[in-house]
Structure 1
């Protein structure tokens, strides 16, 4: 018998350590070549570690929530024969969080490509691999995880599943811990204030319907791309909002370009992919980028670059938007904008011949939270009023 030390690979983001999110093995467990060992998380990405050898697990580096240095031993495996230890940790690309390094080629059976470990796990769960959606050339463990999360909507129920659940204690680790730390730091360091204004979006909604009716092969427009165009059009007159505040250095950087963060809910928690140079994109280009980044975040494939560098953020709950929100600023940015649910309300409008009439209008409350150390209340209110004028006269979105 021999022992093989599996060292934590260089995940390729210039990081020095990663957090243990979950173990898929325990001491004494048998692990096969290509079998899952652990999920490791950096600041932005979660990467699945797989065993390059078969054997019995004899040592683990720590518990979920612990940090492990790059190059340090993560797992020690007892093998049947001597295995050559790699001189340097292999580099695992993290542009695809959840990436699996396949130690042996996946095998095709029944027209489906999957590694032996994936096939064995699917068999244990009673999953037909031909029913599992996958984007890559072969089915991975992450695809099985996604099938287990969403398969019940397609009529799948895990064997012996119960409709009742016992109480459970969940350790706050991984992405959820990062979110908790970031939110706490934002509220602790930033004196927030929130301003809310009602905006009549009747004309914009009518224009959006017309644009979608004649869009051809272009993507369907939601309200968000048009709102982003309006945000980018008005920000040049309010540079204090498109900024980041380094409170330790006492420096505010006002940006000439708009790298717009887009808060997106995922299974792992809230993520904020960034639309680069949003000021240069038209509504259809924005719609395409919104869909691409939201899907990348939801599936865990967003890169570190796509999840950093924002200068201002928009957060929207879509149809769940509520009457008003008080969004938390994405530190070190100084402002975050939150559109709320569109509702129909009676409003007074001037008649062409004089007087007023009551008409049905589509209205939306718009919230903005700002860092009061950098942004004054007057500036925030003035910005939203400028945004309101542009949204309520949407033809101006396409004027030079």
Structure 2
């Protein structure tokens, strides 16, 4: 028998270190060639590392949440033969559709260099019961000898679905499930050992997790109410921030630490715009698609940025260089179950209202279901963020570093407004926008927002070049 050491692969693009977010094997497990060993996360994507050989796991090289350098020891395998095999410089391509987190790059399989295929960074959207079922999270299992993970929920296995028997899993055997299902089960605190899979060979599916959550929610509802009423609520738990949530935290901290923000708020009268939007949707909604407010604002930003190129920019504060862009690559902040993602609508200046609307909807959905590519998650020059009907009255959005501006949309409300001495009920909305005060002066920020206001309050101007 020989020893085979697998090192952290070179993911490419100058990445020097990655975060270990999940182990798919443990010490003592037998692995086969191309079996996924671990998930690691770069700044933009989660990558699956497969095994290049058959063997038995002797030791794991790190713990979940640990940041590891490229080239460091990832795992040790015992393999057939008398000498240790030399690990390949790059991991083989792995992954595919249905991976667990966004920022996947479907085109990566065709690239040269043997870089691993990037899996998605987020599960598909889950029903509200999945998000609110009260499941406590527990970290994924770590290497042998580590302290045990916090207790997980004991979920009642679902009944066998009609249409055929489910293959039984060998006692003590590792549950069969895709990386997406494993990640979701971990996030929900479900022990896969307690779940009976309905898929081929007993494979656990998302439907099996949904059934578990529904059953657990129904049986625990009354007990939860009694606990809240009669027991002292002094319990606590520690949740380790890893993976995508950790990247978001680091990004927000970097933006607030490095960028001196200032926020400018202006009220807009969108009565005429809402009237126009309703008429366009009534006439062309069935054939061209329904328009929301965001395509109109995106079009207004494209036109206004022609006069303020210093706002459609990125600032490299280490090199001391501000790059002004002609094309508008508009970041669309989208909330997903895993956290905030910013897919990018490239060349917004080349699209009409309906094309803008379709792209905004498509990118937001791609971020939520994990199909967004690396190109669709990078390269923004300015960001648009909105919380829709939850937008509040005023907000202070955080700039998406290294951009220099972000435009925030608050909710539309009806209120009395004085117009030429008379009181009228109008639809109003605030824009709460933040700017990098190192490169954007307050006067220019105010003039930019006033230009947006002019376009939004007189929407006919959006169609005039």
In the superposition, the TM-score normalised over structure 2's length comes to 0.70
Aligned residue for 1:118?
177
Mapped pair 1:191 → 2:260: yes
Aligned residue for 1:373?
438
State how far apart, in whole Å, the 1-side matches of 2:260 and 2:215 are.
48
> Does the C-alpha gap of structure 1 residues 48 and 230 become closer, same or farther in structure 2, counting only changes over 3 Å?
same
> Does the C-alpha gap of structure 1 residues 87 and 308 become closer, same or farther in structure 2, counting only changes over 3 Å?
closer
Which structure shows the higher strand fraction? 1
The alpha carbon displacement at 1:295 in A equals: 2.0
Aligned residue for 2:242?
173
Structure 1 gaps of 5+ residues are 101-108, 131-138, 351-355
> Does the C-alpha gap of structure 1 residues 186 and 117 become closer, same or farther in structure 2, counting only changes over 3 Å?
same
Deviations 1:319-360 (A, max 9, x none): 11111111111111111100101111111234xxxxx43222
> Does the C-alpha gap of structure 1 residues 387 and 157 become closer, same or farther in structure 2, counting only changes over 3 Å?
same
Mapped pair 1:205 → 2:274: yes
Aligned residue for 1:89?
90
> Does the C-alpha gap of structure 1 residues 140 and 174 become closer, same or farther in structure 2, counting only changes over 3 Å?
farther
Q: 2:302 aligns with which of 224, 229, 232?
A: 232
Indicate if the aligned counterparts of 1:347 and 1:360 stay in contact, CA closer than 8 A.
Answer: yes
State how far apart, in whole Å, the 2-side matches of 1:68 and 1:259 are.
33
The alpha carbon displacement at 1:299 in A equals: 2.6
State how far apart, in whole Å, the 1-side matches of 2:255 and 2:16 are.
25
The alpha carbon displacement at 1:313 in A equals: 0.8
Indicate if the aligned counterparts of 2:49 and 2:92 stay in contact, CA closer than 8 A.
Answer: no
Mapped pair 1:330 → 2:331: no
State how far apart, in whole Å, the 2-side matches of 1:167 and 1:321 are.
31
Indicate if the aligned counterparts of 2:17 and 2:42 stay in contact, CA closer than 8 A.
Answer: yes
Aligned residue for 1:134?
none
In the superposition, the TM-score normalised over structure 1's length comes to 0.80
Aligned residue for 1:47?
47
State how far apart, in whole Å, the 2-side matches of 1:229 and 1:51 are.
48
Question: Which stretch has the larger CA shift, 28-37 or 286-295?
Answer: 28-37
Aligned residue for 2:22?
22
Q: Alpha carbon RMSD of aligned pairs, Å?
A: 3.7
Q: Equivalences for 1:142-153 in 2 at 5 Å?
A: 144=206, 148=209, 151=210
Aligned residue for 2:119?
98
The alpha carbon displacement at 1:385 in A equals: 1.1
Q: 1:279 aligns with which of 342, 349, 364?
A: 349
Indicate if the aligned counterparts of 1:35 and 1:117 stay in contact, CA closer than 8 A.
Answer: no
Equivalent position SS for 1:39: strand
State how far apart, in whole Å, the 1-side matches of 2:395 and 2:51 are.
46
State how far apart, in whole Å, the 2-side matches of 1:251 and 1:39 are.
36
State how far apart, in whole Å, the 2-side matches of 1:152 and 1:383 are.
51
Indicate if the aligned counterparts of 1:125 and 1:159 stay in contact, CA closer than 8 A.
Answer: no
Count of paired positions: 372
> Does the C-alpha gap of structure 1 residues 301 and 12 become closer, same or farther in structure 2, counting only changes over 3 Å?
farther
Equivalent position SS for 1:216: helix
Structure 2 gaps of 5+ residues are 95-103, 107-117, 122-162, 167-174, 183-191, 228-232
> Does the C-alpha gap of structure 1 residues 123 and 220 become closer, same or farther in structure 2, counting only changes over 3 Å?
farther
